[in-house]
Each structure stands twice: as C-alpha cells, then as structure tokens.
Structure 1
Amino acid sequence: MMVDMSASEPDRLENFPVTFFAVMMGLLGLCLAMTAAEEAAGASGSVSQFILGAAVAVFIVLAGFYGLKLLRHPTAVKAEWNHPVRIAFFPTISISLLLLGTALAPRIPDLAYVVWSIGAAAQAVLSLSVVANWIGHRLYQPIHLSPAWFIPAVGNVVVPLAGVGFGAVELSWLFFSAGILFWVVLLTLVMNRLIFHEPLAGRLIPTLVILIAPPTVAFVAWVRLTGDVDAFARILLNIGYVFALIVLTQAPRFYRLPFALSWWALTFPVAALSVASFVFAHETGSSFHLVIGFALTTILAFAVATLVLRTAQEIRAKQICRQE
C-alpha cells in the first residue's frame, strides 16, 4: 500500500493525513484477534505472523512519509494538530506502537519491550498534550465532538495489555486509571452530542464504532491486571456488546457513505471485541463467547481485506492525499 509522492505533485506529501495511522490500528487489531483465534483453535500462528509482518511494513512506510511531512511541511503538521477533529488522531501513532509491542511480545520479547516502552512514553505525551489542548486553548463547538475523541485519552487502557507481562504493573495501573476516568467523562459528552446536536458529518459516521473499543479493551486490560474475570470485568465486556448492538442499529447509514480513511475506524473496535470474547471464553470456559470470537474475527478479516482493497484503489486514483 504505497502513496504516490512524485515530484509532479508536491502537495501530496503536504496533505498526507495523520488519520492514515488508523490503518495501523486496524491491521494490528486483526493480528491480535487472529492470534487469539489461532490459540483458541489450536492452530499454528502462520496467519497472524503474516499479518504482523505486513503491519510492520505498512508502519515503516507510514512513519517514513509522515516523518518527511514533518521535516518538509511542519506548518501542515501544525495545522493538523490545530484542527479540532484531526488532533484526536495523533495518538493513533502511539497506540500503534503499543499494539505492535503487544503483538511482538510472545514472539520477540526484547524488541517488543523497546517498542512498547516508546509507545507508552509517546502515549503519555500525546494524551496529556491533547487533553491540555482541549482545556481552554480554543472555543470548541459540539460539531467538533465525535467518538474519535476517545482515541487520545482512553487509548491509555491499551498500555496494560503488554505492560503487565513486562513487569510494569504500577505504571499499567496508572494508564488504566487515566483511561477509565476519561472514558466516563468523554462518554457523557459524546452521547450528549449524538443525541442533542446535529448529526455527525458523513466522514465521521464510521467513528461511531469506536464506542465499542474503550470498554472491551478495558476488559482485557482489567483481566491482565487482576488475573480474574470478576463482576466489573463482566460489566465492561457486556457494555462492549451493548454498544455493538447500538452501532448495528445505525448500519443502514453506513451503506450510503462514500469511502474515506475514517472507515478504518470500524476495524480496531471489532478486533477488540473479538479478543475480549476469546479472553472471556478462555477464562470462563464459555463456548458461546468462543463462537462470538470466531464470528467477529471472520467479519474483521473480511472488513480489513475490503478496506485494504478500497484504500489501494483510492491511492491509485490519487483520491487520498488531497487537500480538504
């Protein structure tokens, strides 16, 4: 998946969007979901290994392009940071590093720890910076609010997924606590915006699926931290299922939308719900949740394959890196 950055179109690099890193979250989410499915089925890890390799290659390409954009067009990067919607997508970079560290942990532990550590540090800086930017630095309007606002603050609950295994237990509790706090705050704000204000813009409608991610990732993190599927864990997981059902009621709206990078927002939440279902099945012996996990992983694999194809088509047609 390459982006045309030829000299004849110098604006392509300048308009290379930070939202491209949502692709990474989708690919790595698929890798983690497939890993859980392979373990549950007693299969070899060849498929997840291939997906991980592809995700690493894509991350290198995306990081390279955005690094060039930062060097050559710093004002464009600053404009994205100052954008009331796009600023929420900057932590997709740090979350991608955290997910990459999580995926690498059972395979290359030493490298995984380095990647996870960089991701945790970046997540701390980016989440604090974004939240600080939200508080009093500008006049935000309800139209600027969307489920994408969960990404910066609630992304902190991703840290314990690998952090506990690396021995960073107290640090993982710190990130988890921050994530849960801002999930509750932002959930109230987002639901108020969705119910009482104008509908989401077309390109942001797919971000509704992000509602599923915070409680399901928090469920997996809670089990990692406590080693137990207790009442609170069950509440988190079932909230994820409730949001999934709510999102399904909005599915007819999705079919009328043109393709945009925001469609990748569908992938990671589905992956999170799939992994959470497998974790619950493993810890409790629930065959019902095992079936849910396999079904969601199948849907996720189809969705990612479709989105990869559509994204490649849009890149070839030079419809991605356009000025908006």
Structure 2
Amino acid sequence: MADTATSSSPASSKLQHFPIAFFAMIMGTTGLTLAWQKAAEVLQLPALVSQVMLILVACLFLAVCLGYVLKILRFPEMSLKEFHHPIKISFFPAFSISLLLLSVATVQVSADLSLYLWAVGCVMHLGFTLHVITQWIHHPKFQIQHSTPAWFIPVVGNIIVPIAGVTHGFVELSWFFFSIGIVYWIVLKTLIFNRVLFHDPLPEKLLPTLFILIAPPAVGFISYTKLNAGEIDGFARILFYSAMFLVLLLFTQLERFRRIPFFLSWWAYSFPLAASSIAIQTMYLKTGSSFFGLLSWVSLVVASLVIALLLFKTFKAVRSGGVFKPD
C-alpha cells in the first residue's frame, strides 16, 4: 500500500511524466549564452553576462539530467515509451547537442573540459543519428503525420560538431559530421515541406517547431565559416541568406504563433533565434556592414526577450504541474 501511495504522489507523477523535451530548453539557453559570448567580441558587450549565463545553464543542465535519470530509474517503461515514440524520439539527441553546445561555451574557460564534452557529445550524437535513421528505414510505425521539423534534431545536429571541433584540431572529423548534417538537411527539408504543403497541417502544439527550420542553415553558416578559415564565400552566403529568409517568413506569421497556448514546444523558438543572432553577428564581423551591425543588436535583444519569456512560462508551468501531464 505504501508503494502504491508513493507512486501516485504528486512528486512521483511529475517524475513519471518528466518530458525528454526539457533538453530543448538546454539547447536554447546555451545558444543564448553563445550569442552573448559572440556579442562580447563583436558588439563589445560585457563578457560577465555570458559568464553568469554559462554558470546558470550548467546548473540547469545538471538539474534536467538528474530529473531524467531519476525517471529512467523509477519509471524505465515510461522512458522506453518516449524512446520508441515516433515524434519524441527526435528529442533524445537534444541531450548530445546540449553537450556539443556546452563544449563551445566552455572552450574559453577550460580547453580540457570543452574537449571532453565535445568528444562525448560527438560519440553520443553519432549513435543517436544512426539509431534514428535505422528506425526511420526499418519500422513501419512511422506515418506522414509523424514527420515534423523536430526530425531535424537528430540528423542536422551533426552540423554543430565543427564549431568546437575545428578549435580542438579535428578538422576532417568535423567535415564528416558537417557533411552528414548538410546533406540530410536537404533531404529532410524536402520531406517536411511535402508534409506541410500536401497533408494535414501541423497540430497547434507542434506549430512552434516550424522555427527549427531556421537552425540548419544558420548553424551551417557558422560551422562552414569555421571550416573555411573564417572566409565568407558563395556557399556561406547561401546558407546565411537561406536562414534570414526563413526568419523573415516566420516573423510575418507572428499573429498565428501568438495565439498558441504555452507548450514545451515553444522552446523550438529559442535555439533557432539564438543561432540566427550568432550568424548575423558573424556576418557583421566579417563584412563590417552597418546594416548587419543594427541587425546584430535587434536579433540579440529579440532572442534574449523570447528566451526570458520562455523561462518564465516554463517556471510557471513546472510549479503548476502543467508540463508533467500525459499527452
């Protein structure tokens, strides 16, 4: 009887439904930390801001990891259910992406820590990529309505690897991961547009994931400039302006997104906006254009305000238990 009471307690219920999508929050907040690190270099803003943010993000990452580890230990069947879910499976690689982003954020603090995070993140993300693609190929459970922009996470996340990889001297390995991400970005983008254009529209809960479309070309631009010794060539410009078009396209639909009630899927806004801010600042640094300078400030402010709002909304939802409910 005691075990039954314990398993049905509010705390136990929250743990049972602790969503893997929480790691998208780590991606977004780490991305914003990197945007402020870039702003300290490009816009001459205080480095202290990004340093404080990095400490807070590290604590948040550890808290989310602890929560999900406890869920695995207490409710392994629920974790396995998520892992085999045709949509939720795409959020498991958000953990390895978080490691890769933290490796970028810590490279100035500790090269050894950054290398360790990068190495573990690479191995884990390659494993997730192989597993997810294998699931897509061999399992008949996937249907057209399961395809969402969240599918970009496991495969296109490979594009992040070169950002720290080049710094640590792994140039060819970085090209390997970059190639996977870019090629399969094109494949997946075609599939997602086919789903959006010719099939039932995305459910309201998943509409924010459309912002994930921004991330591959924006991060691709950042990674490619790293691989290309900082040069902005024609391909870099294609990636950059593709991302900017998607930002413009989605911002013209703000009224549609504004009407959506809060879900954890709102965190899909965060990392793409942070990545586009870094990309714009990089373009400003390389070209010196006053237009990109103005856009750098605007993009950083927008990303900061959006992620601050997301943290506030998430904190309220955690307190009320709104994010710990079965779908």
Q: Shorter-chain-normalised TM-score: which range? A: over 0.9
91, 94, 100: which one aligns with 1:92: 94
Deviations 1:83-117 (A, max 9, x none): 11111111100000000000000121111111111
Unmatched tracts of structure 2, length 5 or more: 1-5
How far apart, CA to CA, are the structure 1 residues paired with 2:228 and 2:42?
Answer: 22
Counterpart amino acid of 1:199? P
Runs of 4+ in 1 over 4 A off after TM superposition: none
How far does the alpha carbon of each residue in 1:171-226 deviate from its partner, in whole angstroms, 9 at most, with x for none? 10000000011101000000111111111011100001011000010001000001
* Counterpart position of 1:119: 121
| Match of residue 263 from structure 1 | 266
Counterpart selection for 2:110 from 108, 116, 120? 108
Matched AA of 1:273: S
1:39: Cα distance to partner?
Answer: 1.3
- Give how far 1:53 is off: 0.7
1:36-75 matches, within 5 Å, as 36-75=38-77
Which stretch shifts more, 5-14 or 77-86? 5-14
Q: Distance in 1 between matches of 2:241 and 2:223?
A: 15
**Which position in structure 2 is the counterpart of 1:276?**
279
The answer to whether 1:149 aligns with 2:151 is yes
Q: What is the CA-CA distance between 1:6 and the residue it aligns to?
A: 9.6
Q: Secondary structure at the match of 1:20?
A: helix
CA distance in 1, matches of 2:60, 2:250: 29
Helix, strand or coil for the counterpart of 2:138? coil
Which letter does structure 2 place at the counterpart of 1:256? R
Aligned pairs (5 A) from 1:231-246: 231-246=234-249
Letter aligned with residue 269 of structure 1: P
Percentage of pairs with the same residue: 43
Query: AA paired with 2:115?
Result: Y
Q: Aligned-pair distance for 1:136?
A: 2.0
Give the counterpart of 2:201 among 167, 181, 199: 199
Determine whether 1:226 maps to 2:252: no
Indicate yes or no: 2:282 matched with 1:292: no
Residue identity opposite 1:118 in structure 2: V
TM-score (norm 1): 0.96
Q: How many residues get paired?
A: 320
Structure 2 residue 326 is the aligned partner of structure 1 residue 323 = yes
**Alignment match, 1:81:** 83
Q: How much does 1:7 deviate?
A: 7.5
**Distance in structure 2 (CA, Å) of the matches to 1:128 and 1:206:** 26
The separation in 2 between residues aligned to 1:36 and 1:288, in whole angstroms, is: 17
State the distance in 1 between where 2:252 and 2:36 align. Answer: 27
1:35 pairs with 2:27: no
Deviation at 1:42, TM superposition (A): 2.1
TM (norm. structure 2) is 0.95
Residues 1:166 and 2:165 aligned together: no
CA distance in 1, matches of 2:280, 2:259: 30
Amino acid at match of 1:239: S
Q: Is the 8 A contact 2:7 2:13 kept in 1?
A: no
Counterparts of 1:99 and 1:262, CA distance in 2 = 20
Aligned: 1:217 with 2:219: yes
After superposition, the Cα gap between the structure-2 partners of 1:171 and 1:16, relative to the gap in structure 1 and judged at 3 Å, is same
AA at the equivalent of 2:214:
I
Change (3 A) 1:258 1:99: same
Q: Could you say what secondary structure the match of 1:320 adopts? A: coil
Q: Residue 135 of structure 1: SS of its match in structure 2?
A: helix
Q: CA deviation at 1:287?
A: 2.2
Distance in 2, Cα, partners of 1:167 & 1:236: 24
Equivalent position amino acid for 2:133 in 1: V
Whether the 8 Å contact between 2:86 and 2:141 is mirrored in structure 1 is no
Give 1:303's aligned residue.
306
SS of equivalent to 1:253: helix
Counterpart CA distance in 2 for 1:94 and 1:32 is 17
CA gap 1:124/1:295 in 2 versus in 1, 3 angstroms? same
Alignment map for 1:2-17 (pairs within 5 Å):
8-9=9-10, 10-17=12-19
Specify the code of the residue in structure 1 equivalent to 2:154: P
In 1, Cα distance between the equivalents of 2:110 and 2:294?
30
The answer for the alignment partner of 1:135 in structure 2 is 137
- Could you list the runs of 5+ residues in structure 1 that have no partner in the other structure? none
Give the whole-Å Cα distance in 1 for the aligned partners of 2:59 and 2:225: 31
